[in-house]
């Protein structure tokens, strides 16, 4: 498995261990990790603390983002896809989109190359969480 996706999965597991939603993200520039994070909505009582947003915040001001790759264990929602579009990220690689379709088409329409790895580990981790904590999941996706 891609080492950067493995780091995103580790972030997702860390979030789950903290009592949060198991979604992890990593931002890579020139083959190096410049930011990583996991969903912190529950832990920080912050509705905007999605994994990709936390990851980009943790990367800080890196100048241009058009040569970065954003990894996420789950297909980004419109909030996170909007951040990718806003900052000019050109490639997003996701672990899965079966549990949440997300905003793949939106990103593609804005010139982002989206790759869905359809990883069993990511699918199972999210499916189990959704089954165990549907109220938290539904809040996360705005339902």
Model confidence pLDDT, tens digit, residues 13-36: 999 999 999 999 999 999 999 999
Partners of 115 in the β-ladder: 93
Residue 52's alpha-carbon distances to 39, 49, 99, 120, in angstroms, are 8, 8, 17, 20
pLDDT tens-digit map of 65-84? 999 999 999 999 999 999 99
Is the CB of residue 94 less than 8 Å from the CB of residue 74? yes
Q: Which residue has the tokens 């999941």?
A: 137
Of 16, 143, 132, 135, the residue nearest 74 (C-alpha)? 16
Mean pLDDT along residues 35-63? 96
- Using 50, 70 and 90 to split pLDDT, how confident is the model at 143? confident
Is the CB of residue 5 less than 8 Å from the CB of residue 23? no
Q: What is the mean pLDDT of the chain?
A: 96
Using the predicted structure, report yes or no on whether residue 1 has a pLDDT greater than 70. no
Write down the catalytic residue from 52, 91, 101, 120.
Answer: 52
Threshold 0.85, pTM exceeds: yes
Mean pLDDT along residues 52-75? 96
Whole-angstrom distance, CA of residue 106 vs CA of residue 23: 20
Is the CB of residue 27 less than 8 Å from the CB of residue 2? no
pLDDT on residue 88: 96
pLDDT tens-digit map of 112-138? 999 999 999 999 999 999 999 999 988
Domain housing 114? 3-141
Is 52 one of the annotated active-site residues of the chain?
Answer: yes
pLDDT on residue 117: 98
Partners of 70 in the β-ladder: 27, 92
Number of domains in the chain: 1
Of 63, 2, 76, the residue nearest 34 (C-alpha)? 63
Is the CB of residue 9 less than 8 Å from the CB of residue 73? yes
CATH of the domain at 96: 3.40.140.10
């Amino acid at each position: 498995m891609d080492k950067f996706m493995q780091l995103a999965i580790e972030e997702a597991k860390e979030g789950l261990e903290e009592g949060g939603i198991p979604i992890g993200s990593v931002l890579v520039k020139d083959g190096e990790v410049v930011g990583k994070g996991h969903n912190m909505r529950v832990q920080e009582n912050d509705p905007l603390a999605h994994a990709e947003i936390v990851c980009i915040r943790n990367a800080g001001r890196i100048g241009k983002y058009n040569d970065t790759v954003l990894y996420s264990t789950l297909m980004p929602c419109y909030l996170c896809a909007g951040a990718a579009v806003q900052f000019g990220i050109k490639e997003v690689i996701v672990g899965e989109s079966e549990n949440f379709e997300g905003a793949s088409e939106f990103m593609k329409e804005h010139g982002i190359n989206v790759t869905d790895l359809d990883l069993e580990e990511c699918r199972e981790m999210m499916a189990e969480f959704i089954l165990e904590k549907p109220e938290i999941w539904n809040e996360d996706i705005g339902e």
